[in-house]
């Protein structure tokens, strides 16, 4: 199993997101006051400042906005991944998420901007939180 760095808690903004990941839920927030989507998670609306936010679960489908295949990372947690693709994915519900693209035979050739992707939750030996990553559909 992968050995990625884990989020660390207590940290109240993102903890509900990661608790959701344990249930294979990709969670985001919407402002009850102005209906704006809020991501990454926090306790106030970035559009109007309201503290009234509700949590929602995404269907986990999105489009690659951009990506890069990382060839060199001196952090030991990523040494075993080989060349791996980091990306921003525009998730259909209206938020852009930093993630990895997995499942490409050759990430340097098989990943494209605009590609449709689906979330999956990757279990880790490094800790209790499965990490949401995306795979081309």
Partner 1 sequence: MANQARNAAIVGIYEWPKRLDMDVSAIQIKARSIALALEDAGLSWQDVDGVYDANDGEGGGGLGLSAYLGIHPTVIDTTQVGGSSYEFQAAHAMRDIAAGKCRVAVLSYGSKSASQRVPIGTGGPRGAGGTWQENMENPYGTTLIANYAMAARRHMHEYGTTSEQLAEISVATRHHAMRNPQAVQAMKDLQFQNIRDITVQEVMESRMVADPLHLLECCMVSDGGGAIVIASADVARGAKQKPVWLIGGGEAIKYRTNDGDITTSAAAQSAPIAFGEAQVKPAEIDIAMIYDSFTITVAVMLEDLGFCKKGEVGGYISGGGLRYDRKGAVTLNTDGGGLSSNHPGMRGMFLLLESVRQLRGQSTSQVPGAKLAVAHGNGGLLGGTHAGGTIILAAD
List the one residue from 16, 61, 96, 104 that touches partner 1 (CB under 8 A): 96
Joined tokens for residue 59: 């269907």
Question: If 0-12 CB within 10 Å is exposed, 13-18 middle and 19+ buried, where does residue 82 land?
Answer: exposed
Please, which residue, 57 or 66, has the CB nearer to partner 1? 66
Minimum distance from CB of 81 to partner 1 (Å)?
Answer: 7
- Interaction between residue 7 and partner 1 (CB under 8 A): yes
Please, which residue, 61 or 70, has the CB nearer to partner 1? 70
Please, which residue, 49 or 94, has the CB nearer to partner 1? 94
Site for partner 1 in 28-87 (CB under 8 A): 37, 39-42, 65-75, 77-78, 81, 84, 86-87
Give residues in contact with partner 1 (CB under 8 A).
4-9, 11, 13-14, 17-18, 37, 39-42, 65-75, 77-78, 81, 84, 86-88, 94-96, 98-100, 108, 113-114, 129, 131
């Amino acid at each position: 199993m992968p050995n990625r760095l884990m989020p660390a808690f207590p940290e109240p903004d993102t903890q509900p997101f990661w608790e959701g990941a344990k249930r294979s839920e990709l969670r985001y927030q919407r402002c009850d006051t102005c209906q704006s989507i809020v991501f990454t998670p926090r306790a106030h609306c970035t559009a109007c400042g309201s503290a009234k936010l509700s949590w929602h679960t995404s269907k986990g489908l999105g489009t690659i906005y951009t990506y890069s295949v990382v060839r060199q990372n001196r952090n030991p947690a990523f040494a075993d991944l080989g060349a791996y693709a980091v990306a921003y994915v525009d998730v259909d519900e209206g938020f852009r998420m930093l993630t990895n693209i997995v499942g490409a035979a050759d990430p340097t050739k098989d990943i494209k901007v605009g590609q449709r992707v689906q979330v999956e939750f990757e279990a880790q030996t490094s800790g209790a939180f499965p990490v949401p990553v995306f795979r081309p559909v």
